[in-house]
Structure 1
């Protein structure tokens, strides 16, 4: 069986929804996205954040997807057909990186592990990157003149890279296989048979010196072609036969924007426009079992798609509207029992028969029976079945709820929304929630008095909303100073821009503690870290050194003794400078994802008072973490000492000049300086212990089984 797992938005695509990216290249947990314009962006998938962005000059256009050379750690891109540029991740300006102009137009570059990237020219020639860099203006031969390349891919064989590409001329399709060592070029003709349909997408994999090519035709058929890598010795052009694997639609045609991707030897993914049972075309992504010719899973894409799909690891990267969506999937070992719906129950160790409508699987491509949707028992009465049907009909649809949002009162909308959320979740639940949030935001813009706080909180708590799905949500929450909703968004949204994060930080720092006391929010993130002044005085009496921190070590530091003497009157670092509600909000900021490059400019917008207040709170958290053995604070949404130190560094980097000029910040900076010196001394002693332990390991122990115990005491 195969199924879709969670899905999230990686980024927002530039241009119109139909403006598809030029390409996507993987690099472990990172992907390199090239748009159809001037920009190449590197994203970290797990963090859903950009790591770097590079653009060519105005007037230049990228014509070939950028690739990553893992051997040299460099990125390569081609713009304006012939101009090749190479740069590294720490380069910020493409005008200053290596550039070379080639003598022929490039169609595509392919990067493989442990070898140089391959460059495929539009005339059919294939060159390695190092050979081109040695002589960029070398003459490039044309393998053909009237054929047009439609698709290409590269694989790593047993001893050498293999590149395969497909060309088209006057309705005929040709397959070329280029092997590098030795340099062998094979040409085959694809058998069209008696069909009038044309190929719209290709996918391939290499195994046992045979390239298995899958072709998706406009008739809705997926065919398999076996391409051998060994020469047959025949001089005439060889025609490769094809065999039918699966038929996706019963009749009609599919749009050209539909693509195919190989998940494993038994499963494929189809993305784009497929025909439904009502003869309508709708956009979706589906997983098919080509071994048993069954539909395993499907997910509708209501915002539309260009049909582009990239499969890396256990993730599908799909264009959905103006977003690049990542969908996790799983494919279990294909078996007949799973194909016909007989799945073993691990709790009862019995075989339960699941109903499968074979005609619907063949004709209605979006039908998939969930494992928990079993048929009713034989003894169940028709009256009970009829009552279940009536109950299902009473469920509120997304369209009905959207109409109510336009003119109904907040109480009615809240009541109907609860009914909608309590009902059975449909396959496109996330898209429906996004449409509802957008409708609520549209009415908030029109009516200033309309702000359904409870509805928005419920929708965010469904975990079906992201920032990129509805950017206006946090903007209006900031305008209304809805800190509870902002806290939920910061905790659940993985794709919040750094500018919005800093806007939330400014709001949290500026709002008064007395106003926050009346608000309802989760305070688990400050459990155990915000104490009263009396508790801190009791803790001050202890002199146990943990994690390298001790007040005595602070006082033994020779610099600024006058400040230390004054601090005995009231040590503000031991008293939390803010209330628990504000501490909860600031801890949410500390735990949010960010990129330093994009965050630093926005931190400069903080006022001097806000910077000092935030630094004092960070100093307090650092002191509490230093006193704890676990180096982090208790609570579900607690912060770690690494997050605290990172934010201290970010604040000082962005506002160092402002902080230095403020007299009230002198004591704060002195305290932070002493913390750093105490930690340095502590880790220096740890290094000494490490050296001593390594020396003890080198000593030969006697073989009579005797041993000794040595106690090392830190002074």
Structure 2
């Protein structure tokens, strides 16, 4: 699930004469992801190191001159390029102090933009639509520049993309309310033009964004009514018929953002990946009017996954480099890191191996979202019939029901009949578009009728790996209310978007569950097998793994005034530490392991963790301590096929619990020994990562060393690391 991290200020904004303008003309990435160059709307270009939040250099035009396009960085020559007063191209490097003394050349026509894609060469786009490579233009600055655009046709947006070995320049124009799209290929030199489809009368696009993948350019267009359209353009050259006429660019509605009664005025949308779009300057669906947010929308699920209210006025400007947003608002330019995990049901939900029983049917294979959303032609998933299903098919004399008939049937039919019909329908066809509707109907009926609860059918639908919490938000709370912990376990495994409040509710329910009742549950076999394995494993005395062993912990807590020999003797003669004991039973621990592996955000999880009682917190910490001790033994069998929490997940939950209940734990006598042990764990992990950091530094130094000349057939070279 996409997340927005805590942001920080990169620099302040100079007050602009026009309050609708932020004072920033453009932001471009420089040598790497940690360096950007910011061009203001008047005369200055500043280089910033993002992580340090400080400028490394600044260049200013003299009084009376104005920068008319954002500066770009040429990675091949390590030079900056900008245009002043529309016609003067300026080129300088980091060592130049006075910008006016650097190289400059005056061209014969007004320049709209200088563009330089990552890995490409600088390209000059003129205001009348002509395009030149920088090198060819500087060889004859006063060369005549042709006019490509019609009279009164103006460029609104432009960018440059490197598609494999081909460099492309794309831009949009406006003429008398009509908008056009140009695709200019530089090698060979050709232009392809499209007409953009009109929106409602009087609505012009607010922003454009483009990306390249699989030989297609994806163009994103945001309108004031909140509609986000996507168009796909092939990078292959147009045919003769396409050149002879002006085609209309096909588009599809990618996202419809609720904007309320008022239209958007200053907003922007950019493509993050195949499934995520970032939008700035839009209201939050759950917030009141008049508040502007930075949001990340998932276009596959059509859901808002992250939102952050921005203080001060937004100007509809947004840049993104290396998982960081750069957004001017109010009087500051902020940097907001973000994360967008891959949005794919096959990867996000395909983590559970199906239980193979004699009468079970193989689960329906999950097709990709592209097959559903874009209608790609693929073969339907194959299903394998068991002996029982074949017998049922031969003896069945009544006609099979359609999807619509089954949806109506489950509203009134008893649970056994519902399960039979749904199971039969799943075995015959792919129902992915209807599974959410089917689950919602079953949950609504269960909530309205206390005597009806179709546990097996709901588990069957979750097993298809095609549902998520957003599609049916009442499913997991219903399972908790009915104490259907097997269904809870399946939801925790398969749903990637469970809210943190629901996660904590599950955690409290699992910890409160008596072990006697938990052992009677029928849970997912592999999760139970994992716990049985680590509880029954004999302890290894010589083990040292993940930076911790009981011996190392004893050394950390030894008296610092004792001698090395005394410490060694005491350690040798010390009694064997007690065997770590799991405070929970096998089944109860298997349920809690599912919580440990659930996705969460620290910011949203911490407030709900504070609702845990001190007794539950101590029990939970004791269990996390048990897991850590087991993971730290060489004798622990690494069963990668099992669904089990990772060591880093265990340590993260330890930190979360300590943050949420630090005061309570310090004042609780029963937690004193536990806190001392956890301190030893943290020390061992810190020591491990320090050593890993030293190894990383050594490897980096070795990588930087230049290969020396061959000194002969035989030589010895000593490399000193420290």
Q: CA deviation at 1:660?
A: 1.6
How many Å separate the matches in 1 of 2:504 and 2:493?
Answer: 15
1:510 aligns with 2:512: yes
Report the equivalent of 1:51. Answer: 5
RMSD: 6.8
Question: Given the two structures, how large is their TM-score scaled by the length of structure 2?
Answer: 0.52
1:161 aligns with 2:122: yes
Report the equivalent of 2:706. Answer: none
How many Å separate the matches in 1 of 2:534 and 2:668?
Answer: 28
Find 2:34's aligned residue among 66, 69, 73.
73
The residue matched to 2:4 in structure 1 has which SS? strand
Find 2:594's aligned residue among 579, 588, 601.
588
CA contact (8 A) 2:530 2:642 kept: no
CA contact (8 A) 2:123 2:132 kept: yes
Question: Cα–Cα, structure 1 residues 74 and 602, in superposed 2: closer, same or farther, change >3 Å?
Answer: farther
How many Å separate the matches in 1 of 2:35 and 2:409?
Answer: 54
Question: Cα–Cα, structure 1 residues 467 and 413, in superposed 2: closer, same or farther, change >3 Å?
Answer: same
- How does 1:463-474 map onto structure 2 within 5 Å? 463-474=465-476
1:604 aligns with 2:558: no
Report the equivalent of 2:422. Answer: 417
CA offsets 1:622-658 (integer angstroms, 9 cap, x no match): 2222223568566611233333233223322332221
Q: CA deviation at 1:126?
A: 9.2
How many Å separate the matches in 2 of 1:482 and 1:125?
Answer: 72
Q: CA deviation at 1:148?
A: 14
How many Å separate the matches in 1 of 2:230 and 2:33?
Answer: 39
Q: CA deviation at 1:604?
A: 2.9
How many Å separate the matches in 1 of 2:48 and 2:93?
Answer: 15
CA contact (8 A) 2:479 2:487 kept: yes
Find 1:521's aligned residue among 520, 523, 539.
523
The residue matched to 1:155 in structure 2 has which SS? coil
Q: CA deviation at 1:50?
A: 3.5
How many Å separate the matches in 2 of 1:676 and 1:220?
Answer: 60
The residue matched to 1:648 in structure 2 has which SS? helix
Question: Given the two structures, how large is their TM-score scaled by the length of structure 1?
Answer: 0.53
1:650 aligns with 2:652: no
CA offsets 1:27-71 (integer angstroms, 9 cap, x no match): xxxxxxxxxxxxxxxxxxxxxx433456999x9998989776664
The residue matched to 1:669 in structure 2 has which SS? helix
Uncovered stretches (5+) of structure 1, i.e. residues with no partner: 1-9, 12-48, 137-142, 168-172, 230-239, 250-254, 274-280, 330-364, 374-390, 691-702, 705-715
1:492 aligns with 2:494: yes
CA contact (8 A) 2:116 2:122 kept: yes
Report the equivalent of 2:148. Answer: 190
Question: Cα–Cα, structure 1 residues 291 and 442, in superposed 2: closer, same or farther, change >3 Å?
Answer: farther
The residue matched to 1:616 in structure 2 has which SS? helix
Question: Cα–Cα, structure 1 residues 288 and 550, in superposed 2: closer, same or farther, change >3 Å?
Answer: closer
CA offsets 1:386-414 (integer angstroms, 9 cap, x no match): xxxxx9x96734x6555556666555554
Question: Cα–Cα, structure 1 residues 673 and 482, in superposed 2: closer, same or farther, change >3 Å?
Answer: same
- How does 1:89-100 map onto structure 2 within 5 Å? none
How many Å separate the matches in 1 of 2:647 and 2:33?
Answer: 35
1:663 aligns with 2:663: no
Task: Give the total of aligned pairs.
Answer: 534
The residue matched to 2:429 in structure 1 has which SS? coil
Question: Cα–Cα, structure 1 residues 543 and 475, in superposed 2: closer, same or farther, change >3 Å?
Answer: closer
How many Å separate the matches in 1 of 2:414 and 2:88?
Answer: 67
| More divergent stretch after superposition (399-408 vs 206-215) | 206-215
Q: CA deviation at 1:587?
A: 1.5
How many Å separate the matches in 2 of 1:470 and 1:148?
Answer: 53
Q: CA deviation at 1:584?
A: 0.8
Q: CA deviation at 1:179?
A: 4.8
| More divergent stretch after superposition (215-224 vs 546-555) | 215-224
The residue matched to 2:661 in structure 1 has which SS? helix
Report the equivalent of 1:40. Answer: none
Q: CA deviation at 1:559?
A: 7.0
Report the equivalent of 2:378. Answer: 370
Report the equivalent of 2:318. Answer: none
Question: Cα–Cα, structure 1 residues 676 and 366, in superposed 2: closer, same or farther, change >3 Å?
Answer: closer
Uncovered stretches (5+) of structure 2, i.e. residues with no partner: 13-18, 100-105, 198-202, 243-249, 259-267, 278-296, 306-339, 345-372, 382-396, 561-566, 697-712, 715-722
